[in-house]
Amino acid sequence: MSERAQSKLEAKRELLDQIDSNILELLAQRFLRVKEVAEIKLDSGEAIRNPNREHEMLRRLSLEAKELGLSDLYVTKLYQRILEESVKIQEYQVLAQLKGKQTLAIKKVGYQGIESSYSSMACNEFFDLRGEATSQVGYSSFAAIAEDVAKGNLDYGVLPIENNITGPLNEVYDLLIRNQVAIVGELEYHVKHCLVAKKQIDLQSVERVYSHPQALMQCSDLIGLMGKAQPIDANDTADSAKQIAASDRDYDVAIASEEAALRYNLEILKKNIANKSNNNTRFVVIAKNQELGDDRVRTKVSLQVSTGGDSNLLLDVLAMVRSKGFSLGTLVSRPHPHKNQETVYLLDLRVTNHSTWLKTLDELRSMLPYVRVLGAYPDHEEKHLNLNTLSKAEEPALQPAEKSQKIDYKNTLPCPKELGLDKKPYKLSSRISKQEPTVLQIGNCKLGGQHKAIIAGPCSVESRQQIMDVAAQVARLGGGILRGGCFKPRTSPYAFQGLGYEGLQLLREAGDRYNLPIVTEVMHPEDIKPVAELADMIQVGARNMQNFSLLKEAGKVDCPIMLKRGLMASIDEWLSAAEYLLAHGNGQVLLCERGIRTFETATRNTLDLSAVPVLKERTHLPVIIDPSHASGTWRYIPDLSIASMAVGAHGIMVEVHPEPEKALSDGPQALVYPIFEDLMRNVQQYL
């Protein structure tokens, strides 16, 4: 770079640094004001959370963002994060007030590893937020931390308890069972593993990879791809970085945080190397005694229970807590520490408020032979962030029309026998066996019963840019699920066949980036399992509705299946195909009407709208409509979408493309963004 360019660049960077300092300064001011607001709320006894104000604020900010030429999606996400942080600060203030002045003393906290290990960073984050001064000590094992907390040598201990890639940490659960300690807080930490080394080397030349066993497991895919690399256990991630820095072997590397790489002056070979792009670890903070709770604080309760060998008791307990409006967080079972035949269950309940919880505790104790409350503490699990608020707030321009008055026909449905459902060849998918509507959980989106959603996206995933672009629009306009074909069923063998797994990876990235669950079609039984691991829902296409080998495989995975109606299938044949999925164990089935073959040639297929009310009588499964494949012409799709929602479908699926004339498949039926936006505006009232 020329000297002139260099100095220009440096001047710009200085400006950027100045802007960042200003942003930080403002953020610090904001959090100070948040604390002052909390003081007023504490005096007046007002609730900490005010969802209406939060919603209004997000709306206002996303409007302002748009005016400034910023992405409203990005600004909304950023502010959701800031709001979450503000609420946490206020909740901790409530708790600090309950505890009185003792919080001023410096607390001794133990964490596993050395400085810059994930445990140490989580520890800093947690106590910063609580506003407590601490002195922190690194320990070499989780067990030593739990023991020192139980003995009173430490005020607090920070322990990882669950990771979204490797699951629960059994060792830590067992320590909670064996030691007299209480959980007083939790924190979800976004772990960003990097591959670090003394100098830049080719990944294929790596000889050994050092790290904590958990980190090695979380990055097993990359280690597998590195040819001869041997994984080797270390005490913690930061220690593995320290060892590499001290070693004279250039081809040994470590998995550690960016902070650890900086601290030990190491090069980063690759960032974000975990098997899943979102790698979160939930930490719990333990103390010798429980802390007080308050109704103004969102509360989670952790319990250890025994059923005295009668595991059915657990079902009764779950039904009881559900009837109180509580929801279940993690449920883990561990062998009893001294009774050979027995199991200990550890469960987290998200309770409505602290006083209801205390009343429920007595009821629990009357049902179970043993109940230990491990802790009642502020519920700060991020995966429960309300994503619906996010997508709604993103599009303030879309004011839903007045909700039309609807008469509830549910009670007028004829009884299953009257309809002759007892004589049909399908049973599990019939209302004979289940009257309540099935509600599917597709990623963060619910579909079925009262829950409706719009699925949108391109016919085929064609490139990173194309799918990212469409995903941004789908998220912005309040779509619930992103579609994109990767394995394409084309009538002609010469037509574009899809990008396969490469396309699926792109679709996953787009879904993750815009917080949208993804759906894609599978044609081959062998692809069901691997696709189920990446996609949030699998589509069985019209041409494969009666491909029984495919249905049997799809029936075996724990992933929602969207079963499209066959081109020539009657409604009963379609439900019999769904029966294959249910009979093989997969009850998560979404039916999709996409038009059938008739003598009419004006449209690509004939959309059978009446399938919806017929299905509502015959099945508990949710049903959506795909007006794109039904009509084949983009001009018909907006009106057919309204008709689909009006007839009672649980949603629609439409094809959208940034440049339909250049689409590699189904261009004539793809919607351009302005038409899609208009369509979304018109279906709002039915969602």
First to last CA, the chain: 55
CA distance 264 to 384: 36
Q: Give me the least distance between CB of 494 and ligand PEP, in Å please.
A: 17
CA distance 257 to 237: 7
φ/ψ region of 644 (left if φ > 0, alpha if ψ in -120 to 50, else beta) reads alpha
Residue 542 or 611 having the CB closest to ligand PEP = 542
CA distance 466 to 462: 6
Residue 569 or 683 having the CB closest to ligand PEP = 569
Which residue type is seen at 59? Answer: R
593 binds ligand PEP (CB under 6 A): no
Residue 157 or 485 having the CB closest to ligand PEP = 485
Report the DSSP pairing between strands 280-287 and 182-190: antiparallel
Residue 582 or 630 having the CB closest to ligand PEP = 630
Which residue's CB comes closest to Mn ion?
459
Q: Give me the least distance between CB of 238 and ligand PEP, in Å please.
A: 47
Of 132-140, 201-209, 220-228, 541-549, the segment contacting ligand PEP by CB under 6 A is: 541-549
Residue 521 partner contact from Mn ion, ligand PEP, none using kind-dependent CB cut-offs of 5 to 8 Å = ligand PEP
Of 35-43, 195-203, 262-270, 540-548, the segment contacting ligand PEP by CB under 6 A is: 540-548
Residue 348 or 666 having the CB closest to Mn ion = 666
Q: Give me the least distance between CB of 484 and ligand PEP, in Å please.
A: 9
458 binds ligand PEP (CB under 6 A): no
Burial of 284 (0-12, 13-18, 19+ CB in 10 A): buried
Indicate the SS3 state at residue 281. Answer: strand
Of 45-53, 273-281, 536-544, 641-649, the segment contacting ligand PEP by CB under 6 A is: 536-544
CA distance 88 to 379: 9
Question: Per CB under 6 A, which of residues 55..74 are in contact with ligand PEP?
Answer: none
Interhelix angle 673-683/464-476, nearest 10 degrees: 30
Short-list 584, 536, 534, CA closest to 559: 536
C-beta of residue 196 within 8 angstroms of C-beta of residue 260: yes
Q: Give me the least distance between CB of 488 and ligand PEP, in Å please.
A: 7
The tokens describing 89, both together, are 């600060």
Q: Give me the least distance between CB of 665 and Mn ion, in Å please.
A: 6
- List % helix, strand, coil for the chain (3-state, nearest 5): 45, 20, 35
Residue 224 partner contact from Mn ion, ligand PEP, none using kind-dependent CB cut-offs of 5 to 8 Å = none
Of 16-24, 295-303, 497-505, 539-547, the segment contacting ligand PEP by CB under 6 A is: 539-547
CA distance 454 to 651: 5
Judged by the rule CB under 5 A, the positions of this chain that interact with Mn ion are 459, 666
Among 348, 462, 521, 579, binds ligand PEP (CB under 6 A): 521
CA distance 536 to 444: 9
Report the DSSP pairing between strands 445-447 and 440-442: antiparallel
C-beta of residue 197 within 8 angstroms of C-beta of residue 267: yes
Helix (H) or strand (E) holding 557, with range, is: none
Report the DSSP pairing between strands 561-564 and 651-655: unpaired
131 binds ligand PEP (CB under 6 A): no
Q: Give me the least distance between CB of 486 and ligand PEP, in Å please.
A: 10
CA distance 544 to 488: 12
Burial of 404 (0-12, 13-18, 19+ CB in 10 A): exposed
Residue 73 or 542 having the CB closest to ligand PEP = 542
542 binds ligand PEP (CB under 6 A): yes
Q: Give me the least distance between CB of 613 and ligand PEP, in Å please.
A: 21
Indicate the SS3 state at residue 240. Answer: helix
Residue 50 or 598 having the CB closest to ligand PEP = 598
Residue 174 or 666 having the CB closest to Mn ion = 666
Among 452, 594, 620, 657, binds ligand PEP (CB under 6 A): 594
Which residue's CB comes closest to ligand PEP?
541
Q: CA 146: distance to chain centroid?
A: 30
604 binds ligand PEP (CB under 6 A): no
Residue 451 partner contact from Mn ion, ligand PEP, none using kind-dependent CB cut-offs of 5 to 8 Å = none
Among 212, 564, 618, 657, binds ligand PEP (CB under 6 A): 564
Residue 210 or 676 having the CB closest to ligand PEP = 676
Of 165-173, 176-184, 316-324, 538-546, the segment contacting ligand PEP by CB under 6 A is: 538-546
The residue behind tokens 């619910």 is 446
541 binds ligand PEP (CB under 6 A): yes
Question: Per CB under 6 A, which of residues 467..496 are in contact with ligand PEP?
Answer: 485, 489
629 binds ligand PEP (CB under 6 A): yes
- Total binding residues toward ligand PEP, as defined by CB under 6 A: 10
Q: Residue 302: beta bridge partners? A: 348, 375
Residue 312 or 491 having the CB closest to ligand PEP = 491
Q: Give me the least distance between CB of 582 and ligand PEP, in Å please.
A: 20
Q: Give me the least distance between CB of 241 and Mn ion, in Å please.
A: 48
CA distance 340 to 344: 11
Residue 287 or 545 having the CB closest to ligand PEP = 545
Residue 459 or 510 having the CB closest to Mn ion = 459
The residue behind tokens 């590893």 is 113
Residue 480 or 541 having the CB closest to ligand PEP = 541
Indicate the SS3 state at residue 525. Answer: helix
Indicate the SS3 state at residue 272. Answer: coil
Q: Give me the least distance between CB of 408 and Mn ion, in Å please.
A: 35
Indicate the SS3 state at residue 132. Answer: coil
CA dist list (Å): 348 to 302, 305, 354, 654, 680: 4, 11, 14, 39, 38
Which residue ranges make up the site for ligand PEP (CB under 6 A)? 459, 485, 489, 521, 541-543, 564, 594, 629
